[in-house]
Amino acid sequence: MSAVNNETLVDVRHLKQYFSINTGMFSSKPLKAVDDVSFSIKRGETLGLVGESGCGKTTVGRTLLHLYKPTGGEVFFHDKPVKTKAEINEFRKKATMVFQDPYSSLNPRMTVSDIIGEPLDIHKMYSDRKAREERILDLMDKVGLNSEHASRYAHEFSGGQRQRIGIARALALNPEFIVCDEPVSALDVSIQAQVINMFDELQEEMGLTYLFIAHDILVVRHISDRIAVMYLGKMVELADAKEIYSQPLHPYTKSLMSAVPQPDPRIARANKRIVLTGDIPSPLNAPSGCPFRTRCPHALEACAQSMPEFKEVSSGHFAACHRIEELN
């Protein structure tokens, strides 16, 4: 984690991403993958985004970068809106993504040199072939790859090395902001630690800002300054990483944190596991009101009537629950 600046780099307001799903011969229904999500990220900060599979974490990252056209909401970068084609093209020079699967995110027909150099080619970021080659070798060195790897193909590398190639590609244009979409979930645990440490070092060296998406809370806690929790397309809690770990406010966050393994046996024995009943509802038929109410042990009739406001409960600690004061 690098020194966090007070300047807001990325500001996301009321972001929505609905996908139209065919439900019959002539009928369709919106699947609300991301529904009214707002957050901001300061320069040099890492915001961790966690939640169960299917909650909309990855869709937030992709919609933010306009890989999916947002259904609604706004994205601001350096206080400037990202809307028009020209604005999106300019934004993509400074904002990029590291994908989850290092096996499918790299073109098997391209050499490592061409994979890393592709963003440079698209945006014409070099004066001649020699400058291009020097930049590629410098990027490979940054992520711990040897220069002799440049002429090889992706299938010749291990999962960890492939992810390093993907990270080098993401760094090609000297970005300010990187969306890391579960970048270590497909890797062995020993390799995960190396890659996480490399993200830390790169952030320190290059002043990077991350949106770090993951389902492993321990990984997110290690790298993040703040953590946001999502459930069924909605953001339910957002706070400082240490605070959300020690004092979660939302019932869903409490359940997630109770499942985190404790290395101390005495703490582990004292830790009461909060087991949720039922399955996650389908985003196609989300419950009315609070999306978590069908699995929440504290749900009341009011929870079915309206979606609770995502509000600041204490300084920098936001949550969305009708009974937040009562339960904490």
Q: Tell me: the pLDDT tens digits for 20-43?
A: 988 777 888 889 999 999 999 999
Among 65, 277, 200, 243, CA closest to 228? 243
Q: d(Cα 49, Cα 39) in Å, to the nearest integer?
A: 11
Instruction: Say yes or no to pLDDT of 270 above 70.
Output: no
Q: What is the mean pLDDT of the chain?
A: 89
**CA-wise closest residue to 196 among 44, 8, 46:** 46
Q: What is the pLDDT of residues 245-261, one digit of tens each?
A: 889 999 999 988 887 76
pLDDT in tens, 156-213: 998 889 999 999 999 999 999 999 999 988 788 888 889 999 999 999 999 999 999 9
Q: How far apart are CA 230 and CA 81, in angstroms?
A: 24
User: Band of the pLDDT at 264, cuts 50, 70, 90?
Assistant: low
Token look-up 């920098």 returns: 316
What percent of the chain shows pLDDT beyond 90? 57
- Split at pLDDT 50, 70, 90, the class of 2 is low
- pLDDT by residue (tens digit) across 51-84? 888 889 999 999 999 999 999 999 999 999 999 9
Q: Which of 2-11, 27-36, 314-323 has the lowest mean pLDDT?
A: 2-11
Q: Which residues pair with 211 in a beta bridge?
A: 47, 179
Which pLDDT score is estimated for 191? Answer: 86
Is residue 298's pLDDT more than 80? yes
Residue 183 DSSP one-character state: T
Nearest residue to 178 via CA among 65, 42, 12, 51? 65
Q: Give the C-alpha separation, 213 to 310, whole Å.
A: 20
The strand pairing partners of 88, in sequence order, are none
H or E element that contains 31: strand 28-42
Q: Is 19 exposed, middle or buried (0-12, 13-18, 19+ CB in 10 A)?
A: middle
Dihedral over Cα of 233, 237, 239, 243: its sign: negative
Return the percentage of the chain with pLDDT > 70, whole number: 96
